[in-house]
Amino acid sequence: MSWQEAYTRALPYEEFLARYGTEAHRQRWQAASARAALTGAQRTLLEGFQRQMHLLCLAGTWCGDCVRDGAILQRIVESAPRAEMRFLDRDENSEIAQTLAINGGLRIPIVVFLSEDFIECARYGERTLATYRKMAAERLGTAAADDGAEHAPVVAGAPATPEEYYAAVVQDWMDEIERVQLLLRLSPRLRALHGD
């Protein structure tokens, strides 16, 4: 797989929405973008990145998880001078979709993290931990004791409010983006290349 070729033909955020989204899709993404707030500490962290990184996001404008996470990722990248992101439509990129399949399924959004010279560093996505905790709390309910009485939620750490949930998803993505940035910053190959 040539990730550089895929990244070159992928589209920036606004172009991706214009090409693949209906007006209703674009409105959903706009609403999600309005909710995708970063803290001052998160912005400071992103501004301090030293290695260029490319994020290639396989998504669909119709996908609810993509709406939320795509808008969050765009907000993050806008605050990170050393990060760029582009989008590929899942349905028009079946080979890449198959390559990035998770648990036998064509899941999205998936982000492939690439170094400055387009070497794959990591893959992340489909859903963040905060989203899985929220889903598990909603779908699995609470644990029942032997006497039939309900007790604590099956999943600890599920965000209690919509605002807490959104903030937790932002932090999940921030954690992965920071992890990849540190991977790149500490890379012996890149340190030799940059002399640092």
Domain extent for 50: 3-194
> pLDDT tens across 74-86, in order?
999 999 999 999 9
Neighbours of 76 (CB within 10 A): 21
pLDDT at 154 > cutoff 80? no
- Which string of b and e fits 84-96 if b means at least 16 CB within 10 Å? bbbbbbbeebeeb
* DSSP symbols for 76-109: HHHT-TTEEEEEEEGGG-HHHHHHT-BTTB--S-
> pLDDT tens across 19-48, in order?
999 999 999 999 999 999 999 999 999 999
Between 144 and 62, the more confident residue is 62
**Are 87 and 13 within 8 A, CB to CB?**
yes
Domain count, the chain: 1
Torsion sign, CA atoms 99, 183, 118, 190: negative
Output the pLDDT for position 150: 53
> pLDDT tens across 91-149, in order?
999 999 999 999 999 999 999 999 999 999 999 999 999 999 899 888 887 554 455 55
Task: Provide the CATH number for the domain around residue 184.
Answer: 3.40.30.10
Nearest residue to 128 via CA among 76, 65, 178 = 65
Torsion sign, CA atoms 15, 18, 21, 25: positive
The predicted model gives 53-67 an average pLDDT of 97
pTM, rounded to two decimals = 0.91
